[in-house]
Structures are given as C-alpha cells and as structure tokens.
Structure 1
Amino acid sequence: MTENPVTDSTANVDTVTERVEPLARGVWGVVATPFTDAGEIDEQSLARLVQFYESVGAAGLTVLGVFGEAAALTAAERMQVLGVVAQNSRLPIVAGVTSLATAPAIAEIENAQAAVGERLRAVMVQANSGAPGVVTEHLRRIHEATGADIVLQDYPKSSGVSISTDSLIAVVEASPFVSAVKAEAPPTAVAIARITARVDVSVFGGLGGQGLLDELAAGSAGAMTGFSVPEALVSCVTAWLAGDAEAARAELLAYLPLINFEQQPGIALALRKELFRRRGLFATGAVRAPAASFPRELDPIAADHLAELDVQEVR
C-alpha cells in the first residue's frame, strides 16, 4: 500500500514542536542589486539603498530575492551583496535562496551565514513541489543542516511550482521552524486569510504592493516587497498596524498608479531600477541579461508619475 506523503514527512520532523518566533510585522524591503555600467556590483548604490530603507522605517531587508537578481549573480557576488548590506544597515536580514534542490540550497544558506552571521534573521526558501510531503522534507533537511528559520515563499511565476493553499498550510503546520510565509500566488488575499486562520506565522504579500490594502485586511503582517517609494508602503502598513485602516488607505491610494506602472510584466525590474536611479539611489538602472532593460519609450511616463507625486530625490 502506498503511504501518505504528508504523514511520512511529518513523522520525521524535529521533535521540537514549539514554533519559532514569527517574523516581525511591518515592511521588509526587497533589495534590488545595483550594477555599474561595466556590470559589476555597485557597492555605493547598494549602501545608499539599504541606508534609505532603514531611514524610512523598514522592519528588515530581504536580500537576494527574485528582484535582487540572485540567479544572475555568482556565489562570490551573492556573499559580496550580503556583506555590503550587513555593513551599511542595522536591520535584520532575510536571505533569499535561489535553488529548488536541497543540497545546493543548503550551500547557499551556509554562504549567507558566513557572510552575515547573527544578522541573518531567516532564509527565504521557495516551495519546490506541489506535494506537501516533498516540501516539508526539503525544509526539514535545510533546517537540520543550517539551523536557520525559514520564510516559505509561494511564488509560482518565479519558481514554476504551483502548490495549493491547503498544501501550503499542511507544510507550515508540520514545520515549526517556519517563521513566515510570503504569499505571491494570486489571489493573495484569499491565501493570506486562510493561512492566518490556521497557523500562527507572519504572512506577507509581495508583488510590489499591488494588493497591499486587501492583504492587510485579510490578516497579513505587512509587506515583503520592493517599490521605488518604499516610504509609502511603510506609512500605509504602520497606520494599519496601529489600527487606523482609513489612514492606511489614504497613505497608499495616491501611489497606486505608480505601483501599477512599476509592476508591468517583463520589465518590472528595469522600471524599479530606473526609478531608483531617478530618485538618486542608484547610479545606473542597469540589469543583467536575460532581464529586459528600461524601454526609453516610457521615459516621459515615468517622469510624469514622479512629478505627479512630487517624489523627491534622495540625498
């Protein structure tokens, strides 16, 4: 008789049943990786960005995520990025893991631990299968090897893996070392409501903040995402967590056209980097292939968005 994969995997979970502390609520800024025109890591721009995130009240930084172009970086460059972030900000760090396979994921995490040390609050691991037993075993092996708390990311557009919300909940229930879920499989508000009703973990939306107000209403702990005006996300989430839903809505509404502009499929990364350049945070808007570059046809539209909001250059 075929054994149940969920039962098999959960039987092997560490005997410690007490769940780790949920990841802090608020806005975790997803850090884009700036490059020079020569294609090297731009350490000065990276330092400016993380210092700015800290100055506007971010709860923490998510480094080497999808929008950090981690898949386009060498192992040495990933450690370089983490080192620059740790040296230029006091905020806790979540390090993204690119690999969907267990052994290389463990190697990535060990490198991150070597680069950041105690500053590493958690690692963000993508769901690597639609089968909850497979994901649970993957996370268990990672945690046993590294001791790291885990943020479980459900982002099928990036990973190519689809997992149902019920299966995701089963994984989290069986994995007490999971401190948060990043829910990026639309409809995100539905998933967030279901997860928070069942498991005591922080659940964050992403996707540039497009669904932020609905996600907060569904019970999210905030946002784990990037946006060229992160202070708007911080103001919105801060107001919401203080119990003022009306103020939260007012803080975000004016920025929704820019959020929508920035999240255009296929060019979202280039748009965000170009907007960071226009704000004075990045020296260039360069991306690495195969990412698409900023379309110059959008020059006047980007300028209009920033002018309409009177977004100031960061100095």
Structure 2
Amino acid sequence: MLLTPDAKGVFPIAPTPFLDDGTIDTASIDRLTDFYLECGATGITVLGQLGEAPKLEHGESVDVAARMIRRAGQLPVVVGVSAPGFAAMRALTREVMERGAAGVMIAPPNTLRTDDQIVGYYRQAVEAIGDDVPFVLQDYPLTFSVQMTPGVIRRIVTELPSCAMLKHEDWPGLEKISTLRGFEKDGSMRHISILCGNNGLFLDYEVERGADGANTGYCFPDMLCDVVRLNAAGEREAAHDLFDAHLPLLRYEQQPGAGLAVRKYVMMRRGLLTSAAQRKPAATMSATARAEVDHLLRRLARHDPRALVD
C-alpha cells in the first residue's frame, strides 16, 4: 500500500519507545500501533523529527519501522529517512520499502538557501532513493532554517511526480496553504496531500484552509482524529470546542527542547508507553514540570474524559 496524493486524516508521528536502560521497548511499539488503529488514525509516521531517529543505529531504525509496519496491517506507514548523506538515506529507504513501508519522509538539510538549491536537493534525493518511492516533503523552517515558498513547493511537486504529500509546518502558514490550494484550482500545480505538523497548534484553521489533516505527535492523537472528523462532517463549532480544550496542553508540549519529554510522560500516564525514557542525550522533566502537566491534565479532564489518567 503506497502513499498517494489523496491521503487524508491523521498520520500520528510515533515516538520511539525506550526502556529506562535505553533499549528499545517493543511491547510499547505494539501498544502504540494498536492505539493508533483504534483511535481512527489513517496512517502512521515513524522515525520523524521527534522519533529520536539520530540516536538509533541503522539496524535499530529498520527494526522499529518493520515492527510497526507489520503491526499496522493495512494502515500505511511512512518512515523518516532524512540523513546527512544520500547513501544512508538510500540504504534505509530500500530496507523499509522492502518491508512494506508506504513511503518515506525527507527533511531538507539546513545548508540550503536558494530556491534552486532546495529543488536541486530534492531532485538528487529522488535520484538516490528511486522515483518509484513516494515521498513526503517536510517544510519546517523553524527547525531546519530552510524557507520554502509556495513557488518552490510547486516546482518540487511539478518536477518530481513521486512527491505525494507536503508535511506543512511553516509558522505562520495559513496563507501558504491557501496559496497552494489556489495553485491547484488554477491548474498550475497538481493535487497533493497536505498534512500539518507543529504539534497541531493551528490544526483548527489549517483544515478550514484546505489541509487534509494532521501529521504530528501530540500526546492525544485521538483528539486530532476527532477534530479532523468533526470538521469533515461540517461540525465546525464542535471541532473548535474540542480543540480549544486541548490548547493549553498543546502549547505546553510544543516547548522547544522539552516537548518530547512532556509527550512521552503523558503517553506513559495514558498507559501507551512503559517508560517516558528518552535515549541520551535527552532533556528531562523536573518535578515541577511534571506537576504542571498533571495540573493541565486535570483541567483538560473537565472537558475531555480521556485526560483522566491514573
């Protein structure tokens, strides 16, 4: 099942579960995958930006992706393969595609500055992995320091037919979504899927601007699924009400450097992860931070019972 430009819904970014000693927690991989299936996810992304991929050996990356692909069954799994060089990207892509991945996600290196450099990089990436492999274009200037204008995204989509999806994480980025959908309407760009990241901070209006859903790792991916579903059903105010209830925790989890620790802590509290451990080097949560997150969960539980955790 290969990724197509018609993909919609929510592709949660899966964290890589570790035990306290730093070994990979395969039981939690299985629980996470089952949870994504149950909560209405339409796909999964593994080894994404907050999947701690750089901390894994090549064989570990293949094993984590392969386990999730097997467990997910018919649910498409996209694997992050971003790497400093194309040899590593090619090797990981080949192995995960052989194991049934739906496609791969490629982030730009922070050395790219001009539009021609950006387009040239993705042209070379496709040459390396093969033009038969669907790929997700990750646009996240706040982290990668690479500015992709709507025009350069249109060039990539036009020149590279294997580009199936844009992971939109620009900030502010609502006008970019409108511009890209405008290109489709005037016939100057073919249709691609647009799923949004940034922890879902702007998902409420992103889907109204034409985004197809979310591709991010917030600790309540089931809420993201509900917001996308409610919006598609025309229940705008219900979608906004649910989103607004989660916004304080979304904001807290989005903190640079601390966000993954918060996410894993909540997922552990929800019973999805055995441990909140990250592989070193890693940020840790202080007792004060944990108390703040617990407070946010209690407040959220007034509106969403899923936040009632042991």
- What corresponds to 2:200 in structure 1? 209
Query: Can you give the 5+ residue segments of structure 2 that lack an aligned partner in the other structure?
Result: 184-188
Given residue 108 of structure 2, which amino acid in structure 1 is its aligned partner? A
Percent sequence identity is 33
Question: Which among 159, 162, 171 is matched to residue 147 of structure 2?
Answer: 162
State the SS of the aligned residue for 1:67.
coil
Alignment-derived partner of residue 23 in structure 2:
40
One-letter code of the match for 1:274? Y
Match of 2:251, SS state, is: helix
Structure 1 CA distance, aligned partners of 2:93 and 2:117? 19
Q: Within 2, Cα distance between the matches of 1:313 and 1:39?
A: 28
1:122 aligns with 2:103: yes
Shift of 1:23: 4.3
SS at match of 1:181: strand
Deviation for aligned residue 1:262: 1.0
Aligned residues: 293
Quote the residue 1:30 is aligned against: 13
Deviates more, 1:297-306 or 1:231-240: 297-306
Q: Distance in 2 between matches of 1:88 and 1:21?
A: 21
C-alpha distance in 1 between matches for 2:80 and 2:157: 18
Alignment check: 8 A CA contact 2:177 2:210 kept: yes
Q: Work out the CA distance in 2 between the residues paired with 1:63 and 1:259.
A: 20
2:245 is the counterpart of 1:264: no
Residue 242 (structure 1) shift: 2.3
What SS does the corresponding residue of 2:17 show, helix, strand or coil?
coil
SS for the counterpart of 2:104 is strand
Asked if residue 304 in structure 1 is aligned to residue 288 in structure 2, the reply is no
The answer to whether the Cα contact below 8 Å between 1:70 and 1:98 also exists between their aligned partners in 2 is no
Residues 46 and 65 in structure 2, CA contact (< 8 A), matched pair in contact too: yes
For the aligned residues, what is the CA RMSD? Answer: 2.0
Deviation per CA, 1:4-28, whole angstroms, max 9, x where unpaired? xxxxxxxxxxxxxxxx841411011
User: Partner residue of 2:89?
Assistant: 105
Pairing 1:1-315 to 2, within 5 Å after superposition: 21-90=4-73, 91-114=75-98, 116-117=99-100, 120-128=101-109, 129-144=112-127, 145-146=129-130, 147-198=132-183, 199=189, 200-310=191-301, 311-312=306-307
Equivalent residues of 2:62, 2:92 under 8 A apart: no
1:115-172 Cα offsets, whole Å, 9 max, x none, are: x22xx22211113434343333443444354320111001133334333332222222
What's the secondary structure of 2:214's corresponding residue? strand
- The C-alpha deviation readout for 1:72-118, integer Å capped at 9, x for no partner, is 1110110111122122222111111221533332222112223x22x
SS for the counterpart of 2:12 is strand
- 8 A Cα contact 1:133 1:171, kept in partner: no
Structure 1 range deviating more: 288-297 or 72-81: 288-297
- The letter for the 1-side match of 2:95 is N
Q: TM-score, normalised by structure 2?
A: 0.88
CA–CA distance in 2 between the matches of 1:170 and 1:187?
Answer: 21
Structure 2 counterpart of 1:201, one-letter code: I
Residues 202-240 of structure 1: per-residue CA shift (max 9 Å, x gap): 112101110111211221010100111111110000111
Q: Is the 8 A contact 2:119 2:152 kept in 1?
A: no
